[in-house]
Amino acid sequence: MTLRVILASQSPRRRELLALVGIDHEVLPADINEDVRAGEQAVPYTERLAREKAAAIAARHPEAYVIAADTTVVVDGDILGKPVDQADARAMVKRLSGRSHTVCTGIAVAHGGRIESAVEQVDVTFRALSDAEIAAYVETGEPMDKAGAYGIQGWGATIVERVDGDYFSVMGLGLRRLVELFERHGVRYGFAAGLIVGDGRRG
Ligand SMILES: Cc1cn([C@H]2C[C@H](O)[C@@H](COP(=O)(O)OP(=O)(O)OP(=O)(O)O)O2)c(=O)[nH]c1=O
């Protein structure tokens, strides 16, 4: 019998990252309300959302280990989610141009009625961009499904000057932290072996 791992996310980046380190999984995106509560800061917000996404799927699949995450960009205390349209995307990229912002990624692993969670904060600095460059970048479509309207793993890589923290958390799922959360559930990670519970079952 295999260890069942469910990724409660529609994000193709999160699927790629799990595949990168050999964590076999199914995908069952969670449909929850992602509204920010009045006065809620990015760190508690992203952790709450990751936990709610994990809990929603774990309630239906109690035998599984459910992974969920939530990523936002924070600048001047404002939380930037995904842009609603191209004008919004241009405004977001312009706001991030030539300065630093923080990427917050909440991550959660639910199993057996318990949820282990954490938040990674990473400072990212953009080089200065001209309006023409911003328009051309948004034209590619890359920003549209991403928090803060950029993807560090795509053409956005040519915009990022420095990253202070975990690169994979910027992409949407911190793998070092994920392994730590599994360990809190008593599940070990082995290179090449993947996830291993006490009796040697694999996921
Ligand atoms: C900053 C940044 C974000 N992103 C992505 C990761 C996430 O998919 C997305 C943030 O949206 P999220 O709401 O965290 O996730 P999602 O809507 O894609 O998926 P789900 O809610 O089902 O889990 O932004 C990148 O791919 N690269 C980046 O550099």
How large is the average pLDDT for residues 81-104?
98
48 has a pLDDT exceeding 60: yes
- Which two structure tokens, joined as six digits, stand for 93? 């990229």
Q: How far is the CA of 134 from the centre of ligand 1 (A)?
A: 20
Q: Residue of the nearest CA to atom 16 in ligand 1?
A: 11
| 202 assigned to some structural domain | no
To 5 degrees, how large is the angle CA 9–CA 12–CA 17? Answer: 90
- Which two structure tokens, joined as six digits, stand for 100? 């630093």
Q: How far is the CA of 67 from the centre of ligand 1 (A)?
A: 14
| 78 assigned to some structural domain | yes
Number of domains comprising the chain: 1
Q: Express as a percent the part of the chain with pLDDT over 70.
A: 97
Q: How far apart are CA 49 and CA 55, in angstroms?
A: 10
Q: How far apart are CA 45 and CA 192, in angstroms?
A: 34
Model pTM score: 0.96
| 25 assigned to some structural domain | yes
| 64 assigned to some structural domain | yes
Query: Which one-letter amino acid corresponds to residue 11?
Result: S
| 57 assigned to some structural domain | yes
Sign of the four-CA dihedral 38, 44, 49, 51: negative
Q: Residue of the nearest CA to atom 27 in ligand 1?
A: 151
Catalogue the active-site residues: 70
The better pLDDT of the pair 33, 200 is held by 33
Range of the domain at 48: 5-196
Contact, 195 vs 3, CB < 8 A?
Answer: yes
Q: Provide the total of helices (H) and of strands (E) in the chain, helices listed first.
A: 6, 9
Q: What is the length of the chain?
A: 203
5 has a pLDDT exceeding 80: yes
How large is the average pLDDT for residues 21-29?
97
State which of 6, 7, 11, 121 you would mutate to test the pocket of ligand 1, scoring each by most atoms of that ligand within 8 A of its C-beta: 11
Task: Report the 3 state secondary structure along 60-101.
Answer: CCCCCEEEEEEEEEEECCEEECCCCCHHHHHHHHHHHCCCEE
How large is the average pLDDT for residues 93-104?
98
| 201 assigned to some structural domain | no
pLDDT digits (tens, 9 = 90+) for 161-171: 999 999 999 99
- 1 confidence band (pLDDT: 50, 70, 90): very low
Mean pLDDT score across all residues of the chain: 96
ipTM entry: 0.98
Give me the pLDDT at residue 180, please: 98
CATH code of the domain in which 59 resides: 3.90.950.10
Please name the residue ranges forming H helices in 21-63. Answer: 42-58
| 181 assigned to some structural domain | yes
Give me the pLDDT at residue 20, please: 96
114 has a pLDDT exceeding 80: yes
State which of 6, 7, 13 you would mutate to test the pocket of ligand 1, scoring each by most atoms of that ligand within 8 A of its C-beta: 13
| 140 assigned to some structural domain | yes
